Chains A and B, each alone.
Chain A
Amino acid sequence: MMRKVESIKGMLVVDKTKRGGQDVSSWRIYVPSNDPEKCTGCMLCAMYCPEAAIVANEEGKPEVDMRFCKGCGVCANECPTKSMKMVRED
């Protein structure tokens, strides 16, 4: 049960229900691009993604949430089959 407290003058509080990340898509130059034919769906990319911007889609293959990808390239660097590649974003 959450306690309900009225606001207190001059006191800052964090409301976790109003939290979220920011759109960082303008940070990057390169974006990951996955070849589903070569991809085995091991999801190591998702495990190592510093931003947790990668989730598995219905086929069990990685899907990058482009709002949160900073283009660091860790996913492509760690991909064992090299199905994930960094390509220059237009």
Chain B
Amino acid sequence: MPEFDVMPGNKAVAYGVKLAKVEVIPVFPITPQTTIVEYIADFIANGEMKAEYIQSEGEHTCMGIAVGASLAGARAFTATCSQGLAYMHEVVAQAPSYRTPVVMAVANRTLGWYWSLGPDYSDIMPELNLGWLVNFAESNQECLDMVLQLYKISENHNVLLPSMLNLDGFYLSYSYERVNLPEQELVDEFLPPYKAPFPVDPTISDKWPSAAIPPPLHTTYRKLFEEVLEDSKKVISKVDAEFGEIFGRKYGGLIEEYRCDDAEAVLVTMGSMTTAARRAVDKLRSAGERIGLVKLRFMRPFPASELREIASHVKVIGVVDRMVLHGTGGGGAFSDVKSALYAMDERPKVLNFITGMGGEDIPIDDFITMGKKTLKAARKSLEREVEFIEHPFKPSETSVPTEGEDISIFPGSDGCAGCGASIIVRHLLKVLGPNTVIVNPPSCSGVNYGGVVAVPWILANYAAAAGYETGIYRAYKIKGKADKIYLTSFSGDGGTVDIGLQAISGAAERNESMIWLCYDNEAYMNTGIQRSGSSPLYASTTSTPAGSVWKGKPERRKNMILIMAAHRIPYIATASLAYLPDLERKIKKAAEVTRAGKGMAYIHVQQPCATGWYFPPEKTVEIARLAVQTGVWPVLEIDEGKLKVNIKPKELKPVEEFLKPQRRFRHLTRDQIEEIQVEVRKEYENWIELEKLDKLPWY
């Protein structure tokens, strides 16, 4: 390994994980965290690291795997942010009581509240008070170093609590900086393997962690938890000092003070914004102002006594917040700082600036303004505590008017050139018309086509999309609209076969009269081509890269058609965008079935993706056609249990004709191609066999 490299924060985290010799790594992609898990996949695929790497079907399971691994005595890591972190929440809350020292990187991004990929701390807000240690990094170097430090702190038997490493999405996660790479030998010396005190392993231990206690002990255990968190402060400082001695870099424990000596005012910041705040403090200092800066490195445990110490010799504190505690009128750090100071006999004034939400930059000039306002408050009475620092917004693009009436979807989308999903959604809306409502779990399409449709396109939470659709359907039903509005999903494969499956299964069991249309590009394209439960055998994706050790995705895809058929819904079909009349007929059929209130219709359309399958964009339809002609993508329908294969090539073409033009299959050996050929033929023949039945047996 080189001594240093220039890398984004996500890669620095991945290097930290590699150096920490983490043993179990469950992952699920979400922007702007995703490349952390891709870099780790690359390390493992190329034999640079050994670990159990599990791409789960959603974040809830992901944290479950991490907690399970840690319970069994392994060092576990995962990473997420924003909606993913919120989805994980239940298990995040469980990890501390099992005393599982998992380390999780959170590449902060705004939560819910108007979709955005941009960073702020609203995602961490609901997770702050669960008993985790919550750390914020300012630089990419700090990201790497803190992975190592946090394992050391978390695994200390006086702490034994999980830790979150927060790195600002994009500002750190995707920005390149020079990062020194510590030597493995020194890391091994600093961070010995994890020894669980009571591993869940009946062969070596008669005791194991429990999270079930009688009600009278709850208050007691909450108190004990607070004591452990208080004690962890000493461990945090000790570990930082030890790290400094070995690696020559120290960060200052719970807080870092910058030019606070003789200051009459200080700004309080967190994370990457601190760098700009330092420059602002430098400028104000050189203009003769007595101002300093406090970086909150840990939000939990909260550095209350450290802040009281600073507060005892300043007149005013200006807290800069990238999170709003809605309903309190102010920010999260502000609230904590204020309550920490309340017990003092003489308190400084506390101001709050809320800014940089949804990823907006906080420039040095803004920090100078905030610094000046804070200094002014030292001399004057306080007019208002909380101020929102806003900037005007000018839309940069104007939409182009399109001639023609009753257009349900406009040309000129954000989609990639040659996008197959675009072909599918246009024909979907061509058949269904303007009185259609589309429910869309997070996917490329939400980003690309949600903005160019003239029908309601409801962005739904990933795992809850079938819930949104059910709710809309039931509302229409009670309002007498169910036979007047077409209701369909436009969902990717992740939203269908993986994270969305539970809600879809529920809707199918209840037989809600709605269409579920899955456009299947066979990977998580929106986050950058990670494998999904629908990625085919041996496909190289960014989370199953072909390397010296890995040979592409090792598992076969889920058979979603049989899963849906097991629910006995009235209509199920697969379709191809190369056979558009067949696709349109199936959409029409699904519309008839659902409008008649007969129950759920499910259509699964393969969508070749030039960007993610790595072929030239003009071949989108050609590849789709080859998939059908080789038997890779059987085109069939199940109408009230009767299965029919709609397109039967006289003779199936060799599967190689489909595989060869795609770079995701470039690494395949002859044996692998032969294995795929056997699989494809077997599956195709299975469908032909099932077609011979009057009805599928479980209907």
Residues on A lying within 8 angstroms of B by beta carbon are 12, 14, 16, 18-24, 27-28, 47-53, 65, 67-68, 70-74, 76-78, 86
What are 17 A-B pairs at a CB distance below 8 A? A16-B454, A19-B453, A19-B454, A20-B402, A20-B410, A21-B412, A28-B417, A50-B422, A50-B423, A51-B422, A67-B411, A67-B412, A70-B417, A72-B417, A73-B618, A76-B618, A77-B622
The segment from B24-32, B173-181, B393-401, B680-688 found at the interface with A is: B393-401
Most buried by A among B397, B412, B419: B412
Residue of chain A at shortest CB distance from B624 = A48
Within B381-412, the residues touching A (CB, 8 Å) are 397, 399-402, 409-412
Report yes or no: B114 in contact with A20, Cβ–Cβ below 8 A. no
Contacts of B453 in A (CB 8 A): 19
Residue of chain A at shortest CB distance from B413 = A21
B363–chain A nearest beta-carbon distance, Å? 26
B: interface residue count bin: 35 or more
B426–chain A nearest beta-carbon distance, Å? 5
Most buried by A among B411, B451, B610: B411
B626–chain A nearest beta-carbon distance, Å? 12
Report yes or no: B399 in contact with A19, Cβ–Cβ below 8 A. yes
Contacts of A27 in B (CB 8 A): 417
Is B110 in contact with chain A by the CB < 8 A criterion?
no
How many residue pairs bridge A and B at CB < 8 Å?
Answer: 94
The binding surface of chain A is classed by DSSP as loop
Within B592-646, the residues touching A (CB, 8 Å) are 610, 616-622
Is B418 in contact with chain A by the CB < 8 A criterion?
yes
Report yes or no: B455 in contact with A51, Cβ–Cβ below 8 A. no
Is B494 in contact with chain A by the CB < 8 A criterion?
no
- Cβ contacts B561-583/A at 8 Å (1 or 0 each): 00000000000000000001000
Contact of B415 among A20, A28, A50, A67 (CB under 8 A): A50
Report yes or no: A50 in contact with B409, Cβ–Cβ below 8 A. no
Is B128 in contact with chain A by the CB < 8 A criterion?
no
Report yes or no: A50 in contact with B412, Cβ–Cβ below 8 A. no
Is B187 in contact with chain A by the CB < 8 A criterion?
no
A28 to B379, CA, bound (A): 60
Across the A-B interface, the 5 shortest Cβ-Cβ residue pairs: A21-B412, A73-B618, A20-B399, A72-B418, A72-B417
Report yes or no: A74 in contact with B411, Cβ–Cβ below 8 A. no
- Cβ contacts B7-51/A at 8 Å (1 or 0 each): 000000000000000000000000000000000000000000000
Report yes or no: B399 in contact with A52, Cβ–Cβ below 8 A. no
A50 to B31, CA, bound (A): 26
Report yes or no: B412 in contact with A20, Cβ–Cβ below 8 A. yes
